[in-house]
Chain A
Amino acid sequence: MLKTFSIGGIHPADRKISAGKSIEVLPLPKRVAVPVAQHIGAPAKTEVKKGDLVKVGQVIAKTGGFVSANIHSPVSGKVFKLDEIVDASGYRKPAVIIDVDGDDWDESIDRSETLKTDIPLSSEEIIKKVGEMGIVGMGGATFPAHVKLSPPPGKKCDVLIINGVECEPYLTSDHRVMLERGEEMIVGVKILMKALNVTRAVIGIENNKPDAIKHLQKLVQHESGIEIQPLKVQYPQGGEKQLIDATIGRQVPSGKLPIEVGAVVQNVGTTLAVYEAVQKNKPLIERVITVTGPGISKPSNFLVRIGTPVSQLIEAAGGLPDNTGKVIGGGPMMGKALTNLEVPVTKGSSGILVLPHEEAHRKPVENCIRCGKCISACPMGLEPYLLMIETEKELLDRAESDNIMDCIECGSCSFTCPANRPLLDYIRLGKGKVGQIIRNRN
């Protein structure tokens, strides 16, 4: 019996049509727009001004606090201007816009392909380096990685969990990283283990990626302390709490972080970025991203510089099909529809999904038939139909005591509901309001 998490979960069709496509390097764009807030926490403070010449890897915006991250120039060239750009949700956000000229890397970055396996840096030095190099969670949450590596006083981590689940349908970037960059990633795992001072690491991979499981198993045969844990396919296994439950059988209590049960979770892409940062001195300036969808003629996995406009990725994957109804940043479950195609790739972009008209629309909302399917689907053990009503009726204290803040916004409830109720839409709104109340209280 394969392991998986114990509460709720759903089984959307996985549609990994780009799984067999190796990572291609996307040609440099002519101009990039690099947002200064690409992570959870304080936005970074811009360090450059109009007209400045920058090199690849140079810091262009400095971290704005402990929970924040440096932003480095992904290209070389001239700063065209500092301006606001329209982000994926239609709001305007500050960004550094750079005209690309050549590809001139900062000398401190080691661009050779040799695998560096010994880890000279100490635990503190690793954490510091990870912070300096602007590494954030690349699975989508974009939480600064060095913060997770520094457990609060009194808390002890005893196991590192690597998230190779990629439970979102369509997305394959982590899958490709495990297959093609496995050696480096395993060194990354060892670096993270050293930083956290733990002797055990578990890499969780769903068994719809047997090639990745086999490949990594071969790579870790002679490593002590690193286990590969194949998992039964179930969404949302990539959620931190679900993954911890699935891999090591520990349950993180409501409202608490994984460190409460002695675990730290990092994504596969992040682990590779940590390797590059610590061993090669390379900041987070590019990432692997899947461009896919039923109508896309050339579904692909691209290695892309941060700041590249999404339109260019779609072009490289064969262009936008005529019957496109929606373009989503991320996967179909948790991704967000893009309001325009000029939005840049950021540290948290894992995929671009192009859906045809037929699949892009919601079905008409009907009344709740009290079937309870949303409750069975919710991986956090919540009662989504109730949380929706409580938000609608402004019963926020009840929503709070019904643990609305535990919702991980996985969308399993909305996906399952036979009455097509916009459950997560309302729950997200309720979370915002309850969060505000909690902040005001403290």
Chain B
Amino acid sequence: MSIVLITILTLAGLGALAAVILYLASQKFKVFEDPRIDQVEEALPAANCGGCGFPGCRAFAEALVKADDISDLNCPVGGPDVMSTVAGILGKEVGKTDPMVAVVRCNGTCENRPRLNEYEGATSCAVAAALYGGETGCSYGCYGLGDCVEACDFDAMYMDEETGLPVIIEDNCVACGACVDACPKDIIELRKKGPKSRRIFISCVNQDKGAVAKKACNVACIGCGKCVKVCPFDAITMENNLAYIDYDKCKLCRKCVPECPTNAIHELNFPPRKPKAEKKEAPVNTPESSN
């Protein structure tokens, strides 16, 4: 009988002692955590995509709480709504961020860019790029093995079987930039979505000299510089035989588009041109073929 009692008392005593020690330890080593971190995290979309530049939504929430000025922090998935909620919680100013969207800067479809060899290594653009310049004469263009599609967590991309190129589904794209990082050839770029989703960009990344580029691909930028000249806003620059449109400067006047001899400049979501206003015929770009 007494053994049972002793056992119970000893265990109870030990338990009480441990509780006291644990309590004291937890007081001593208490980490203060700003309760706003939880609140902010709650407000974020929990996509954990890394589009903000932080490893996950929690880390971004911590950064938001810590930073005095959050105007250059942005959650591309949540967009302005989420950012203003966050700003409300923290009592800070949000920056004005233009909505962005990914664009594929290669139009080297099977038709435009003849295949010269056949790749049958591992299905990964990164592996292929570590090995060689690709199936066509253009060593800058898309390998079509879909690393970008694989990287997208938002169902915003698919491979077009016919063209062999990735297509971006604008409505789903949250501009997290995962595809941009995944592409070994730097083909995908985040660009300003533009008013009514209208935007103009050069759908080519080939830096070879004009004749070489043209031989490899019908729709390559040949670096002729016509677009640079015609642009009234100095938005187009030329580097390494490749034109580039600065989306901050571009006013969407569309003057460059018909100027390009190889139809390398794509316009998206514009209404059709009035035929009489144009001397040349504008290239027809449906969102599918140009994206």
Q: Which residues of A contact B (CB under 8 A)?
A: 84, 86, 88-92, 336-337, 339-340, 361-362, 365, 422, 425-426, 428-429, 432
Q: Are A339 and B116 in contact (CB under 8 A)?
A: yes
New A-B pairs, 5, CB < 8 Å, besides A88-B132, A425-B122:
A339-B117, A422-B121, A422-B122, A422-B127, A425-B124
Closest to A340 in B: B116
- Nearest chain B CB to A440 CB, angstrom units: 16
- Nearest chain B CB to A333 CB, angstrom units: 15
- Nearest chain A CB to B182 CB, angstrom units: 10
- A92-B139, A422-B127, A425-B127 given as contacts; is B133 within 8 A of A339 (CB)? yes
B122, B131, B212 — most chain A CB neighbours (10 Å): B122
Q: Are B122 and A90 in contact (CB under 8 A)?
A: no
User: Does B259 sit within 8 A of A, measured CB to CB?
Assistant: no
Q: Which residues, 59 to 101 on B, are CB-close (under 8 Å) to A?
A: none
Could you pull out 5 A-B pairs where Cβ atoms are within 8 angstroms? Answer: A88-B132, A90-B133, A92-B208, A428-B130, A432-B130
Q: Which residues of B contact A340 (CB under 8 A)?
A: 116
- Nearest chain B CB to A357 CB, angstrom units: 11
- Nearest chain A CB to B122 CB, angstrom units: 4
Q: Are B133 and A91 in contact (CB under 8 A)?
A: yes
**Residue of A86, A336, A426 touching B122 (CB-CB under 8 A):** A426
CA distance A90 to B117 in the complex (A): 10
CA distance A221 to B133 in the complex (A): 50
Q: Which residues of A contact B121 (CB under 8 A)?
A: 362, 422, 425
CA distance A353 to B171 in the complex (A): 50
Q: Which residues of A contact B33 (CB under 8 A)?
A: none
Closest to A364 in B: B120
Q: Are A91 and B139 in contact (CB under 8 A)?
A: yes
Q: Are B127 and A89 in contact (CB under 8 A)?
A: no
Chain B positions 104 through 139: 1 when the CB is less than 8 Å from some CB of chain A, otherwise 0: 000000000000110011101011001111100101
The range of chain B's interface size is 10 to 19
Closest to A388 in B: B122
**Residue of B124, B127, B212 touching A92 (CB-CB under 8 A):** B212
Closest to A362 in B: B120
Q: Which residues of B contact A (CB under 8 A)?
A: 116-117, 120-122, 124, 126-127, 130-134, 137, 139, 208, 212
Q: Are B132 and A90 in contact (CB under 8 A)?
A: yes
Q: Which residues of B contact A425 (CB under 8 A)?
A: 121-122, 124, 127, 130-131
Q: Are B122 and A365 in contact (CB under 8 A)?
A: yes
Q: Which residues of A contact B130 (CB under 8 A)?
A: 425, 428-429, 432
- Nearest chain A CB to B108 CB, angstrom units: 14
Q: Which residues of B contact A432 (CB under 8 A)?
A: 130
Q: Are A428 and B116 in contact (CB under 8 A)?
A: no
CA distance A94 to B67 in the complex (A): 49
CA distance A97 to B130 in the complex (A): 27
Q: Which residues of B contact A337 (CB under 8 A)?
A: 117, 132
**Residue of A89, A361, A422, A429 touching B133 (CB-CB under 8 A):** A89
Closest to B207 in A: A92
- Nearest chain B CB to A328 CB, angstrom units: 12
Q: Are B120 and A429 in contact (CB under 8 A)?
A: no
Q: Which residues of B contact A91 (CB under 8 A)?
A: 132-133, 139
Of all A-B residue pairs in the complex, the 8 with the closest CB atoms, nearest first, are: A90-B133, A89-B132, A422-B122, A429-B130, A425-B122, A91-B133, A425-B127, A90-B132
**Residue of B116, B117, B120, B208 touching A361 (CB-CB under 8 A):** B120
CA distance A340 to B116 in the complex (A): 8
Closest to B119 in A: A337
Q: Which residues of B contact A336 (CB under 8 A)?
A: 131-132
Q: Which residues of B contact A89 (CB under 8 A)?
A: 131-133
- A425-B131, A428-B131 given as contacts; is B139 within 8 A of A90 (CB)? yes
CA distance A422 to B119 in the complex (A): 13
CA distance A339 to B212 in the complex (A): 16
CA distance A339 to B132 in the complex (A): 9
Closest to B138 in A: A90
Closest to A423 in B: B122
- Nearest chain B CB to A361 CB, angstrom units: 6
- Nearest chain B CB to A93 CB, angstrom units: 11
CA distance A432 to B130 in the complex (A): 8
Q: Which residues of A contact B117 (CB under 8 A)?
A: 90, 337, 339
CA distance A328 to B134 in the complex (A): 16
- Nearest chain B CB to A410 CB, angstrom units: 16
Q: Which residues of B contact A92 (CB under 8 A)?
A: 139, 208, 212
Closest to B184 in A: A429
Q: Are B133 and A426 in contact (CB under 8 A)?
A: no
CA distance A86 to B208 in the complex (A): 11
Q: Are B139 and A429 in contact (CB under 8 A)?
A: no
Q: Which residues of B contact A428 (CB under 8 A)?
A: 127, 130-131
CA distance A425 to B121 in the complex (A): 7
Q: Which residues of A contact B134 (CB under 8 A)?
A: 90
- Nearest chain B CB to A377 CB, angstrom units: 19
- Nearest chain A CB to B129 CB, angstrom units: 8
Closest to B129 in A: A429
B139, B208, B212 — most chain A CB neighbours (10 Å): B139
